[in-house]
Amino acid sequence: MLIKPLYAMLLGGALLASQAQADDTIRIGVSQPLTGSVAASGTYVTNGARLAVEHINGKGGVLGKPLELIIEDNKSNPREAVNTAEKLILRDKVPVMMGAWGSTFTLATMPKLEEYGVPMVVETASSSKVTTSGNPWVFRISPTSMMEAQAFAKQLSSFAPAIKKVDFLSVNNDWGLGAAGAFKEVLESKGIEVGRSEIIAPDATDLSAQLAALKNSGSDTIIVTSGVEQLTLAIRQAAEQGIKQRLVTTGGSFPEPLVKNPGPKGYVSTHLLFFSPWTADQSIHPDIARTYMDAWEAKGYPFPGLTEGFRGYDAILTIAEAIRVAGKAEPEAIRDALWKVKLAGVNGDIAFHKEGPEGRESGQNTPNIYIIQLQDGEVSAL
Amino acid sequence: MDQFLQHLVNGTVLGATYALLGIGLTLIFGIMKVVNFAHGELYAFGAYVAYALVSLLQMDYFVALILAAGLGLLLGASIEFLLLRRCRLENIDEVMLIMIGVMIIMQNAELLAWGGVAKVVPTPFPQESIIIGGIYLSPTRLFVLGAAIVLLLAFYLVIERSRLGLAMRATFQDEDAARIVGVNVGRIYTLTFGLGSSLAAITGALLAPVFVVTPTMGDLASLKAFAIVILGGLGNIRGAALGGFALALIEEFGAAYISTAYRDAIGFLVILAVMIARPQGLFAARERVG
């Protein structure tokens, strides 16, 4: 008879303890690919998020409480991305998430956000579907492929010789296929001829068949969409096969290994980035960029990782601001507050406009896009 | 024509590495009947040895290759000696479970030691490609092709012509008879597993400067190796070698002239077709055992 009350007391005590622990901090769930085919990018974004949390907590946190990241690895796999969301929402009870690097992982996660009513700030995803499918819990700070294509089109005159015909080399997922579609549409409207479209599996390492097929296609530019690892392989293998076309990469990833281990001498590649640490002084808010870069450097993280680390940094700044505006760390209040966020970030000004079907709109930011060139391990602005 | 020849060259280089992976696995899976799910992990292990020695310790690449092969042999032999010997290879389910366990442990150990971000191993060769009649081939890939062919020939000779090879073949044909004529059966098992593993490890080290090194790189390698072994016929060294070249060329030309999106699917479709027409594999003379 004595056991029951004792058990109840113990249980009650444990519950109280965990309650107290949960109340000490404001938790933010993070779902990123820390392993698998796009692990490099996910790791950079997570490190950027950590720096933002340190920065905010150093200034006293939000609503008088420190922020705490609960980080889960989605293993570059849409199925695992769903698992991470369920774990973060159900077990860790996070009121808001950041994730999930890439359109495919984000799209897979989105139904869970709606099911449980938890908002997510999407730091990386370029498929238009993310914000047009009518999920009111999604707020994207990264550009869509269409925005990228339009930004690229504005810079067409900077390319010499001029771009007349393009081919595509795209990773076989929502991101790669979506980007190819958007760039085709925009470039065709500018009178540029569109040639072949070649596809690579997300885990492929040998791209020689695709590249050899593009070699004599008569185009002058190949638009490549994939993560850090495949961009590195594509550029190196294109140079090895004597591909004469200009390579332009989209999606904001940068083939960082080529800085230390450049391919053949004189080979130039062009990259669409959302933050360029090489030309940070020209960004919209150089002081914020500087704070972020200094913190990154202090940790000894690799310099080129700054190009993607800012995504996590800006996303956490956005979430923290929304919690501050909401006045409480509750999912619905944070979602409503995200619409009111007006913030200066590393990429530029962050604010959301409505996209998607009326009454069920998602939030979309209008970020800045930078174009840079890489040659012999050296980076310069276009 | 140039494009056709370029595809042929690309496919041949890829095929040589597929053949090495296939031979290593056919020794273990085809001859020993151990379903070696960890084969790809030994390939990744070799690549990480190359990364650690060349990129971190600034060691010579060629020395690293030899060390990768040696360490692969040692690791493979230890797996056989410490884990498989105990269950005497009688229960295939147990063996499979052990090998799946080894695969998971190795992959996660790599992740723990090196992190998930891809590593790059610098090549000791010039970056500029060799150009012959409009065909481009990087010196690194040419070296991989040469090394693979030397290894393929050496293995063929060891298995078919040497006393060790004879003892291996005898052991796996009839263990008791081999024991009667004085073959140290236990040692043959350990050595065969070690040799197969060593081939996987040196393939990983050979390809490290061509591709990038990641903890999950073994998954794709395992898948391809199993496909090659089944295509070539279980336990058939020549079959595995030819199967490797066949799969690579099918993938390369399928991607070039049919569709790059279905590159892997085309390879597996051909394997399915072969399985329907010749269930024992392309080159196996006998019916499959078991």
Please report, for the domain that includes residue A27, its CATH number.
Answer: 3.40.50.2300
SS3 A72: strand
Q: Do B216 and A203 touch (CB under 8 A)?
A: yes
Query: In which domain, by residue range, is B12 found?
Result: 2-277
Q: Answer yes or no: is B189 within a domain.
A: yes
Q: Do A203 and B122 touch (CB under 8 A)?
A: no
Chain A residue closest to B253 (CA)?
A: A209
Give me the pLDDT at residue A228, please.
87
Q: Do A232 and B212 touch (CB under 8 A)?
A: yes
Weakly modelled stretches of chain A, pLDDT under 50: 1-3, 6, 11-20
Cβ-Cβ contacts under 8 Å for A34 (sequence gap 6 or more)? A42, A43, A46, A71, A73, A74, A75, B116
Q: Answer yes or no: is B284 within a domain.
A: no
Q: Are residues A251 and A316 in the same domain?
A: no
Please report, for the domain that includes residue B201, its CATH number.
Answer: 1.10.3470
Q: Answer yes or no: is B52 within a domain.
A: yes
Q: Answer yes or no: is B283 within a domain.
A: no
Q: Are residues A53 and A125 in the same domain?
A: yes
Q: Are residues A153 and A206 in the same domain?
A: yes
ipTM for the complex? 0.86
**Looking at the 3D structure of chain B, how many domains does it have?**
1
Rounded Cα distance, A235 and A354, in Å: 37
Give me the pLDDT at residue A195, please.
95
Q: Are residues A171 and A122 in the same domain?
A: no
Tens place of pLDDT per residue across chain B (290 aa): 788 999 999 999 999 999 999 999 998 887 788 889 999 999 999 999 999 999 999 999 999 999 999 999 999 999 999 988 876 666 778 888 999 999 999 999 998 899 888 899 999 998 889 998 889 999 999 999 999 999 999 988 998 899 999 998 888 888 899 999 999 988 999 999 999 999 999 999 999 999 999 998 999 999 999 999 988 888 888 899 999 999 999 999 998 888 888 888 888 898 899 889 888 888 765 544 43
Count Cβ atoms within 10 A of the Cβ of residue A377 and give its class: 0-12 exposed, 13-18 middle, 19 or more buried.
exposed
Give me the pLDDT at residue A19, please.
46
Q: Answer yes or no: is A369 within a domain.
A: no
Q: Answer yes or no: is A155 within a domain.
A: yes
Q: Answer yes or no: is A138 within a domain.
A: yes
Q: Answer yes or no: is A6 within a domain.
A: no
Q: Are residues A266 and A329 in the same domain?
A: no
- Chain A partners within 8 Å of B251 (Cβ): 209
- Residue A62 CB-half CA count within 13 A: 27
Q: Answer yes or no: is A279 within a domain.
A: no
Q: Answer yes or no: is B147 within a domain.
A: yes
Q: Are residues A152 and A256 in the same domain?
A: yes
Q: Are residues A98 and A170 in the same domain?
A: no
Give me the pLDDT at residue A8, please.
53
Q: Are residues A150 and A259 in the same domain?
A: yes
Give me the pLDDT at residue A36, please.
82
- Chain A partners within 8 Å of B117 (Cβ): 39-40, 43
Give me the pLDDT at residue A16, please.
47
What pLDDT digit, counting tens, does each position of A48-83 carry? Answer: 999 999 999 999 999 999 999 999 999 999 999 999
In what helix (H) or strand (E) does residue A169 lie, and over which residues does it extend?
strand A165-171
Among the candidates A247, A273, A299, a domain finishes at A273
Give me the pLDDT at residue A4, please.
53
Give me the pLDDT at residue B285, please.
59
Q: Answer yes or no: is B174 within a domain.
A: yes
Residues 258-277 of B with CB under 8 A from A: 259-261, 263-264
- Chain B partners within 8 Å of A263 (Cβ): 127
Chain B residue closest to A376 (CA)?
A: B127
Q: Answer yes or no: is A376 within a domain.
A: no
Chain A residue closest to B1 (CA)?
A: A216
**Looking at the 3D structure of chain A, how many domains does it have?**
2
Q: Are residues A71 and A137 in the same domain?
A: yes
Query: In which domain, by residue range, is A116 found?
Result: 23-143+285-364
